[in-house]
Amino acid sequence: MQLTKQQIQFIDHRLETEGIKYWDIRIEMLDHVVSDVEQKLKPENSEYEFKEMVQASFIDLGWKENFNGGGLDKVLASRLKLHNKKQNINFKQYFKKTFFNFNFVVGAILLSISVYSFQENKLALKTLFSIIIVAYIACMFRFALKYKVMNSARLSSILVFITLPISIFNLIIYFPKVFFDYEVGISVISLTVIIVSYFSAIGISFLNKEFKKAQIIYNQLTS
């Protein structure tokens, strides 16, 4: 028996209440529960019996009573692990494909020429670094505005790849100063900026590609 829109919404809300905060994982689990309940539900079944079937399907999924919150915490952790593993593979494939992409290589060469041309002019170099940082923040802000779409398991794991180069940059710049009272030279900073910018650009490009896919799916589900 096919479920009503209200019954499907009940299951979706129950999944969210149980801690499944990522909409893409929730959709996978919703489809599983709906299919399972539809096979068992009959027209003569009461609302109470419907909810009992939903509960039984949740238990089959791995639901366990949890006094600290959702009963699907372990299921979520397991599915997140699978999503992260899949995205790691996808990112590695994209990275290999994009690393020698003509536009990226030309961009890296132009950036390198600009950075090393301004090395004697600290003000110009700082201005260039500021432009790069502002561009990075602007890209991240664009994604942040679409919080509901970004609240996705597939996109959350990609953010790690994008923020990692920035973390490495901060480590190279500030670690020697904090622990050894030594400031790295301008050449090292320049080279680090070029490398970090290149890897960040690949990461943002990958996030943008996955974001467009996720947005299409999300819009179809909510329309």
Tens digits of residue pLDDT in 43-71: 888 888 899 999 999 988 888 776 666 67
Residue 69 pLDDT: 60
Q: How far apart are CA 95 and CA 97, in angstroms?
A: 5
**In the structure, what pLDDT confidence band is assigned to residue 132 with cuts at 50, 70 and 90?**
confident
- Decide if 54 contacts 10 (C-beta within 8 A): yes
Residue 76 pLDDT: 86
Share of the chain above pLDDT 90, in %: 5
Nearest residue to 207 (alpha-carbon basis) of 151, 140, 145, 147: 140
- Decide if 168 contacts 196 (C-beta within 8 A): yes
CA distances to 53, 61, 77, 203 from 84, rounded to whole Å, are 31, 20, 10, 15
At 74, list the tokens: 């372990």
- Decide if 134 contacts 142 (C-beta within 8 A): no
Q: Which residues of 31-64 are buried (b: 16+ CB within 10 A; e: fewer)?
A: eebbebbeeebeeeeeeeebeebbeebbeebebe
Residue 64 pLDDT: 79
Across 47-56, 70-79, 190-199, the highest mean pLDDT is recorded for 47-56
List the domain boundaries for the chain. Answer: 5-71, 76-222
Residue 223 pLDDT: 58
Q: Select the more confidently predicted residue: 140 or 122.
A: 140
Quick check: 121 pLDDT over 80? Answer: no
The count of other CB atoms within 10 Å of the CB of residue 24 is 19
**In the structure, what pLDDT confidence band is assigned to residue 213 with cuts at 50, 70 and 90?**
confident
Mean pLDDT for the stretch of residues 21-25: 87
